[in-house]
Amino acid sequence: MTEGRNPDSANLDRMSVEEVLTLINREDRKVVPAILARIPEIARAVDLVVKAFLAEGRLFYVGAGTSGRLGVLDAAECPPTFGTDPEQVQGIIAGGYGALVRAVEGAEDDAAGGADALRDRNLSARDVVVGLAACRRTPFVAGALGYAREVGAPTILVTANPPDDLPVDVDVPISLVVGPEVIMGSTRMKAATAQKMVLNMLTTTAMVRLGKVYENMMVDLMATSEKLRERGKRILMISEGLSYDEAASLLTRSGGSVKLAIVMHRTGTDVKEAGRRLAEVGGWVRKAVEKRN
């Protein structure tokens, strides 16, 4: 399907700039309903990811080209946003990290390479592997998923092809049928947009289910930049009704942990006691502040 020709863009080279932009925008609107139709499958995928994390397993994204870049991007965004260990979510792209900035032609055809990449990372049954393949023919991804099944790791495939046209058996297929692209075969467009949205959903929802979000705030962020340090203070100002200076002081006393700071303030405890309360409830701020002792 991703190599099909879109009849609505057959005269693309004759259109005005505004007509091209309007057409692209109209096609992009097909992404959201395509994802909505797959919410049950995405929910099953989230359950597998959460189960892996609770077992101290890892999430691996495996893809080639644009799909691979999106996997690496989502993996890179998890540590600063949710305070995860960089090893917990990893992106693997055909051709290696050099392929992030320059296309490595033919790398996607290396099925053995996909398996080797996971083997090199000591994949185990505790981990979960998400294959990212816009089209049905991506041997690198198929090889990785095949190896994951041999190891006993749960497998998920995010693709733009129909569920009855998949290259390999997986535990959860997520088929995002967005139709042919405005430019035939250019899966960096709708197919990639759909994949990015699903990856956002997978990791964000998994992190919510792991207690890394309080209300709708990223309380497990890593304050590795001035922007994130200021965000931490702003969260405390909003959540606890503190002034800027009070929030800064509380954050300093908590060792820079927004989670600890909220529990300390809500329960009137010191950092050690707040840490104990959080540990007892698996890191959930809401549960920690509602505990009676």
pLDDT per residue over 164-205, tens digit each? 767 678 999 999 999 999 999 899 999 999 999 999 999 999
226-290: CATH number: 1.10.8.1080
Residue 293 has pLDDT above 70, yes or no: no
Domain ranges of the chain: 7-209, 226-290
Contacts of 199 (CB under 8 A, 6+ apart): 61, 70, 71, 74, 130, 132, 158
At 14-28, the pLDDT tens digits run 999 999 999 999 999
Once rounded to an integer, what is the mean pLDDT over residues 234-263?
Answer: 94
Share of the chain above pLDDT 70, in %: 98
Confidence class for position 253, pLDDT limits 50, 70, 90:
very high
Count other C-beta atoms under 10 Å from residue 280's C-beta.
12
Q: How confident is the model at residue 110 (pLDDT cuts 50, 70, 90)?
A: confident
Q: On the CB side of 202, how many CA atoms lie within 13 Å of its CA?
A: 37
Assess whether 150 carries a catalytic annotation. Answer: no
Q: Tens of pLDDT along 43-73?
A: 999 999 999 999 999 999 999 999 999 999 9
Q: How confident is the model at residue 106 (pLDDT cuts 50, 70, 90)?
A: confident
> If you average pLDDT over residues 128-156, what whole number do you get?
93
Decide if 240 is catalytic: no
Query: What is the fold of 7-209?
Result: Rossmann fold (3.40.50)
Q: What is the pLDDT at residue 167?
A: 67
Q: Which of 77, 230, 240, 273 is catalytic?
A: 77
| pLDDT the model gives residue 163 | 76
For residue 103, pLDDT beyond 90: no
Nearest residue to 281 via CA among 269, 290, 272: 290
Q: Which of 85, 73, 79, 89 is nearest to 228 (CA)?
A: 79
Q: Whole-model pTM?
A: 0.91
